[in-house]
Amino acid sequence: MSIQSIHKKLIKKKLTISVAESCTGGLLAHNLTKLANSSKYFQMGLTTYSNQAKIKILKVNKNIIKKYGAVSNECCRAMVQNLSKISKSKINVSITGIAGPGGSTKNKPVGLIYIGIKKGKTLFIKENRFKSKNRSSIQKSTVKEVIKIILNLI
């Protein structure tokens, strides 16, 4: 699952992509834009790290964050749905989770990551529980997982 493959497929199929990242801090956007001509498919990358940014920029209802938390299926779903309205991209991705080393709770351990993907009418949220306790490793694993999902989707 390489960046080269996704790069070629997105260009060939004339698909556009936008991302809203939290715990990966822009790593997905960085990977999607590191090859020449990525402007043919990459439209926007938002790093909505704080709850405030999720509410203000992505218009996530603050009650969702209050009730379920920023690291939840519900928040991830709202992030990707609202990103698709803002970006008008064919493929939209949202990521929220706990990359660690801190920030975890008993119910939400380090490595719990939600990935939201919306392509046309298809929308799904994938819950991941990466075993590593290493922040960088969790972030990289998340990006690899997103690329794998998108390649399967297109």
At 47, which CATH number?
Answer: 3.90.950.20
The pLDDT of residue 68 is: 97
Distance CA 22, CA 24 (A): 6
Residue 111's pLDDT is 96
Classify residue 3: in a domain, yes or no.
Answer: no
Q: Is residue 37 part of a domain?
A: yes
| Domain interval for residue 115 | 16-100+110-148
Say how many Å lie between the first and final Cα of the chain, rounded. 13
Q: Give the per-residue pLDDT at 14.
A: 97
> Which pLDDT does position 1 carry in this prediction?
54
pLDDT at 132: 87
Q: Is 80 within the bounds of a domain?
A: yes
Q: What is the mean pLDDT of each run of 10 residues along the chain (154 residues)?
A: 89 97 97 96 97 97 97 98 97 97 91 97 96 93 96 93
Report if residue 154 sits inside a domain.
no
Residue 87 domain flag: yes
Catalogue the E-assigned strands of 1-154: 17-21, 42-47, 91-97, 112-119, 122-129
pLDDT for 2: 85
- Domain membership of residue 60 (yes or no) is yes
Q: How many domains does the chain have?
A: 1
In a domain, 90, yes or no: yes
**Are the C-beta atoms of residues 18 and 89 closer than 8 Å to each other?**
yes
Residue 11 lies in a domain: no
pLDDT of residue 33: 96
Name the pTM for this structure: 0.96
The 8-class DSSP code of residue 131 comes to -
